[in-house]
Chains A and B, each alone.
Chain A
Amino acid sequence: MSTLVWLAVILITITSVGLLLARDWRWLIIFLSAQYFGMLILTLQNWPLGMASVKVVAGWMSAAILGMTRSGLPREDRAERSNILPRGRLFRLFAAGIVLVIVSSVTPRVDAIMADSGFAITSGSLVLIGMGLLHLGVSNHILRVSIGLMTILSGFEILYSTVESSILVAALLAISNLGLALVGSYLLIASNVEEETELI
């Protein structure tokens, strides 16, 4: 089981760095979906399968909402294209490396605070939180902002699952995730409107 948990941490690290580096929105959605699978494995350490699967189902639905919205946009998103410059990739990789160094240094302390939830779970959640924050810091594109927020929430949910197993909280967090994806899709559609046409 321990090996599986560490494999999930590696998966989460790869997907979160991938989210930061990918330019094509299709890759973003694939990485996000894979990230939710890693989250499922980490959440399973504290929650039963039934409850843990709520997170992955909500996460995949959120990814699908964002993916379907982006695929339905009629043209290439100029804001997205201008936001990802070739020279940014190396910088982002470097920044991701710094986040990983910080995570490895703070994991023991956070693990002690969070009722010894386990190094793997703590480090996995901190990687997601750190990468999500980095994502928010380097991009202001709506799709990336939504993904950044969902990544932070995923990290938090993993950490919080070690101390809280309420069904209400699980349901509200799942609704928050879906709501975030819906709001992201809404803003994504709105950001592609050429001119303001207020109909109401």
Chain B
Amino acid sequence: MNAPTIWIIAPAFTAILLFPIRNQRVLSILGGTIAVLLALSAQFIPIGEALGVGELSFKIDASLDILGRVLRIQPAEGSLLAIIYGAAALWFFGAEASGTAGRIVPYGLLITTFMVASIAVEPFLFAALFIELAILLAIPMLNSIYQKPGRGVVRFLIYQTLAMPFILLSGWLLSGVEASPGDVSLAAQAASMLGLGFAFLLAIFPLYNWIPLLIEEASPFIVGFLLWILPTVTIIFAAGFLDRYSWLRSSPQTATALQFAGLLMIVTGGIWAATQHHLGRIMAYGSVAETGFAILALSLDSRVGIPILFLLLPARALGLAVWSLALTIFNNQVESMRFSTVRGLLHSFPFAGAALILASLSTGAFPLLAGFPARLALWENLARLSITSAFWMGIGIVGLLTSSFRSLAVLGMADEYTGWEIREDWLQGIMLGLGMIGLVILGLFPQFTQFFLANLPAMFERLGR
């Protein structure tokens, strides 16, 4: 038995078996349970160590040889898998409440296994190929065959596909730079190629125009899933490059470029979010800013930045899951999510309205919510480096908070004599309620996540040391 078989190949086959199931509830429970089991086993079963169960003794090998290359899950990556599958379980359990279980559970589980494979594959730069396969799988998940594809889906396909050649070629160039470190021109070419690849993959400004388009065309719950899993795994993949290539890690230009890109995404994401009149587009720009925070964390000294990066992950997963579920509930009730059509909905959908506002505030670093601790640490460390950068991060956060308060004002803007009613069903209420409790608990007691996060920097050989 080996780890890649348990956490990649077996879940992939299970996902394929889920495709014929049509019952939303069965799919949601099955998918969620499988993801939880995978998360628990990844957290508690040690990889590469002998385990005794009664008289039986067995060991889970870390690697699997496949077509001359290796899929390897390091013991230190167990907690990361637990976070990834645990967060996937959030979406799968919420799938029935959103009415998208038929698509998100089988496709989502398959996409998650490909993303895990991208973390496990060696040489690590082949991860770009697995990410590309995940992106191709995302298309039928996003767009039903009975629905005309819009510009967002097509741009998503184009931009994400263009990333793969850049990253694969840059990987080869980077090895050339390692062989001749004095060749400045080659280093610049390799870094530019790598930068372009990640700009496409992480949807760095201005290549994120597909995100708001996509959220208007597809189910927000499904788009939320993609906006969580793709940047999360990609940012870890990017950290892998910094870990592997010492010249890239130690170059001051790398830190400057990362800082600039991160701030650009936070500022533009925040300002655009503040000026939108569409709840979906606000979430889109919120997720852009979230990616900006992660990139900014990578730009810091890795001993500080890597723990902050990992601290951002659970808050992002929970925030986006709650936000996208709330949006999907609104989306199913009104013809569009423009301010003019969602006005006053807080009175009839109090759980969805409150969840949307809380998730949005959490993204904007509102105190005592899940996103706050990581952003505070990030802001504090950024301010030590540059007050100007910290100021710009503040501008982005103000933009995000403005968008949250505007959403609150619009959702609460009902006629004077409109009464309160609860039009969410019990399942939606429970899922949103649990999500909101989670957002508050993660904000009040961020140390809870340390159980998963404390050992994660060990997955890198040099970063964070």
Residues of A within 8 A of B (CB): 113, 129, 136, 140, 142, 145, 149, 152-153, 156, 159-160, 163-164, 166-169, 171-173, 175-176, 179-180, 182-183, 186-187, 189-191, 193, 196-200
Interface centre among A193, A196, A197, A200 (most CB of B within 10 A): A200
Distance of B29 from chain A, by nearest CB (Å) = 17
Whether A190 and B157, one on each chain, are in contact in the complex, defined by CB atoms closer than 8 angstroms, is no
Whether B169 and A187, one on each chain, are in contact in the complex, defined by CB atoms closer than 8 angstroms, is no
Distance of A38 from chain B, by nearest CB (Å) = 18
| In the assembled complex, B172 has its CB within 8 A of some CB on chain A | yes
Q: How far does the alpha carbon of A160 sit from the alpha carbon of B136 in the complex, in Å?
A: 21
Whether A190 and B158, one on each chain, are in contact in the complex, defined by CB atoms closer than 8 angstroms, is no
Q: How far does the alpha carbon of A136 sit from the alpha carbon of B209 in the complex, in Å?
A: 16
Q: How far does the alpha carbon of A145 sit from the alpha carbon of B158 in the complex, in Å?
A: 8
CB contacts (< 8 Å) of B68 on chain A: these are 166-168
Distance of A65 from chain B, by nearest CB (Å) = 13
Distance of A107 from chain B, by nearest CB (Å) = 15
Q: How far does the alpha carbon of A200 sit from the alpha carbon of B147 in the complex, in Å?
A: 12
Q: A145-B158, A164-B172 are in contact. Are A176 and B132 (CB under 8 A)?
A: yes
Q: A163-B172, A172-B126, A173-B129 are in contact. Are A149 and B161 (CB under 8 A)?
A: yes
CB contacts (< 8 Å) of A180 on chain B: these are 136, 161
| In the assembled complex, B151 has its CB within 8 A of some CB on chain A | yes
Distance of B390 from chain A, by nearest CB (Å) = 39
Digitize B44-84: 1 where CB-to-A-CB distance is under 8 Å, 0 elsewhere: 00000000000000000000001111000000000000000
Q: A168-B126, A193-B145, A198-B146 are in contact. Are A159 and B169 (CB under 8 A)?
A: yes
Contact partner, A169, options B129, B143, B147, B186, Cβ 8 Å = B129
Q: A136-B158, A167-B67 are in contact. Are A187 and B143 (CB under 8 A)?
A: yes
CB contacts (< 8 Å) of A179 on chain B: these are 132-133, 136-137
Q: How many B residues face the partner with a CB closer than 8 A? A: 37
| In the assembled complex, B384 has its CB within 8 A of some CB on chain A | no
Q: How far does the alpha carbon of A156 sit from the alpha carbon of B151 in the complex, in Å?
A: 25
Whether B129 and A172, one on each chain, are in contact in the complex, defined by CB atoms closer than 8 angstroms, is yes
Q: 21 pairs across A/B with beta carbons < 8 Å?
A: A113-B173, A113-B186, A129-B165, A145-B158, A149-B157, A149-B161, A153-B164, A153-B165, A166-B67, A168-B68, A169-B129, A169-B168, A171-B67, A175-B133, A180-B136, A180-B161, A186-B140, A187-B139, A190-B144, A191-B148, A196-B144
Q: Quick one: closest A residue to B144, CB to CB?
A: A198
Within 8 A of A (CB), among B117-152: 126, 129-130, 132-133, 136-137, 139-140, 143-149, 151
CB contacts (< 8 Å) of B145 on chain A: these are 186, 189-190, 193
Whether A172 and B146, one on each chain, are in contact in the complex, defined by CB atoms closer than 8 angstroms, is no
Q: How far does the alpha carbon of A198 sit from the alpha carbon of B99 in the complex, in Å?
A: 12
Contact partner, A196, options B130, B146, B172, Cβ 8 Å = B146
| In the assembled complex, B441 has its CB within 8 A of some CB on chain A | no
Distance of A73 from chain B, by nearest CB (Å) = 13
Whether A166 and B144, one on each chain, are in contact in the complex, defined by CB atoms closer than 8 angstroms, is no
Distance of A14 from chain B, by nearest CB (Å) = 23
**Given A168-B67, A193-B145, A193-B146, 18 extra CB contacts under 8 A:** A136-B158, A140-B151, A140-B154, A142-B149, A142-B154, A145-B154, A149-B157, A149-B158, A149-B161, A156-B168, A156-B169, A167-B67, A169-B168, A183-B136, A187-B139, A187-B154, A190-B144, A190-B145
